[in-house]
């Protein structure tokens, strides 16, 4: 079952301690289906992440209105949760919509902007850039 962003927001709002929020992020990572060994390749690796992160882009249709779905994985537990959150935010949208979606307000609402290390924040930016680059390639 796909991750529901509204459910994530609600759960985050009920968790006061950051230790609990980090545990919840780790749980979110466990919702990912994972990737095959072949998909954990250089082609799918996200550069700019301190941890190993892979993102696979699937799409139906062509052009700006094609719908994109993302799958991913990481070798680090908290990062895997961030991958699940980012992929849920962008999956199921058209290439055109993805290019205008900004995940920053969600991360601010969840308090993640202030609690991520600079390395993890750079990794999130790298994932978003990769997703938007794939969307741009389809939209062009």
Q: If you write DSSP's letter for every residue of 29-63 in order, what string do you get?
A: HTTS----TTTSSTTTBPTT-SS-EEEEEEEESSG
Band (pLDDT 50/70/90 cuts) for residue 1 is low
Q: Check pLDDT > 70 for residue 56.
A: yes
Q: Check pLDDT > 70 for residue 6.
A: yes
User: Which of the residue ranges 11-15, 82-86, 92-96, 118-122 would you say has the lowest mean pLDDT?
Assistant: 118-122
Instruction: Write the CATH number of the domain with boundaries 5-139.
Output: 3.90.1010.10
Q: Which of 49, 78, 127, 138 is catalytic?
A: 49
Calculate mean pLDDT across residues 96-102: 96
- Distance, in Å, from the CA atom of 107 to the CA atom of 20, rounded to the nearest integer, reads 16
Active site residue 49: yes
CA separation, residue 10 to residues 5, 42, 49, 90 (Å):
9, 36, 28, 19
3-state secondary structure of 137: helix
């Amino acid at each position: 079952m796909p991750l529901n962003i509204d459910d994530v927001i609600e759960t985050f709002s009920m968790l006061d301690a950051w230790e609990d929020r980090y545990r919840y992020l780790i749980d979110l990572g466990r919702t990912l289906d994972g990737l095959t060994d072949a998909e954990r390749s250089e082609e799918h690796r996200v550069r700019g992440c301190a941890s190993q992160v892979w993102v696979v882009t699937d799409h139906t249709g062509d052009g700006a209105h094609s719908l994109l779905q993302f799958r991913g994985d990481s070798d680090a537990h908290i990062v895997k949760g961030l991958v699940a959150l980012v992929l849920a935010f962008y999956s199921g949208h058209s290439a055109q919509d993805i290019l205008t979606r900004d995940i920053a307000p969600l991360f601010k609402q969840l308090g993640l902007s202030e609690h991520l290390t600079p390395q993890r924040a750079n990794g999130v930016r790298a994932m978003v850039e990769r997703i938007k680059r794939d969307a741009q390639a389809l939209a062009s």
